[in-house]
Amino acid sequence: MPAVAAPDTVTCRGERFQLYLDEDTIQARILELGQQIEADYAELGPPILIGVLNGAFMFTADLMRAIPGDCEVDFYKLSSYGDAKTSSGQVTELKDVDAKLEGRHVIVVEDIVDTGLSMRYVLDQIATRNPASLRAATLLRKPDAAKVDVEVDYVGFDIDNLFVIGYGLDYGQLARNLRAIYVLEEEG
């Protein structure tokens, strides 16, 4: 399938957004993260990636394809934003992981660590299941928005405290299908 070029601006729910991270930049960084994970787990054994739905579905798929060796995938589903632009601060669990995680090398995969509440919640839940190791990966992280302390082992990009959409990240459930990441024009 030929790639569809990402436009410089998009409109979502009546608001204009401008290009923030283009597709090539995102994919190049994911390849680096995949190589890093491949090297880190060469001795340990295959990791299992736990994507946090919905936002992380696209990053999880691309990150998995960037890891040349064996790895598995499963999903956790949470909600903290609802349809708003800022985190509600309330994490709701909508679906648990199916895979048995005891003795496994687990990497929790998020599209974004904003306040950190969602990542903290998933890491704490999974830690109770006695994994052999537990790490965290995120495509985006907003250091200035952090409300809880959470160590993230694999970070794609640290970004300013901006409202971003695309590549899995939504605005009222729309825009997840954009191939690049966009910032609200008034903020960017």
Strand partners, 72: 48
**x-or-dash string of contact with ligand PRP, 54-73, rule CB under 6 A:** xxx-----------------
- Which of 6, 66, 80, 154 binds ligand PRP (CB under 6 A)? It is 80
- Could you give the CA distance from residue 161 to residue 59 in angstroms, rounded to a whole number? 20
Q: Which single residue brings its beta carbon nearest to ligand PRP?
A: 55
Report the site for ligand PRP in 85-104 (rule: CB under 6 A).
87
- The amino acid sitting at 136 is A
Determine which one of 62, 111, 114, 170 is catalytic: 114
What lies within 8 Å, CB to CB, of 174 at 6+ separation is: 12, 13
> Angle at the Cα of 162 (from 159 to 167), degrees rounded to 5?
75
Q: By CB under 6 A, which span of 9-17, 22-30, 114-122, 128-136 interacts with ligand PRP? A: 114-122
If one asks whether residue 117 binds ligand PRP (CB under 6 A), the answer comes out as: yes
The residue (of 41 and 106) whose beta carbon lies closer to ligand PRP is 106
Smaller CB separation from ligand PRP, 8 or 83: 83
* Residue placing its CB nearer to ligand PRP in the complex, 68 or 143: 143
Length of the chain: 188
Check residue 115 for interaction with ligand PRP (CB under 6 A): yes
CA gap 175, 106 in Å, rounded: 29
Residues that bind ligand PRP (CB under 6 A): 52, 54-56, 78-81, 87, 110-119, 170
The residues annotated as belonging to the active site are 114
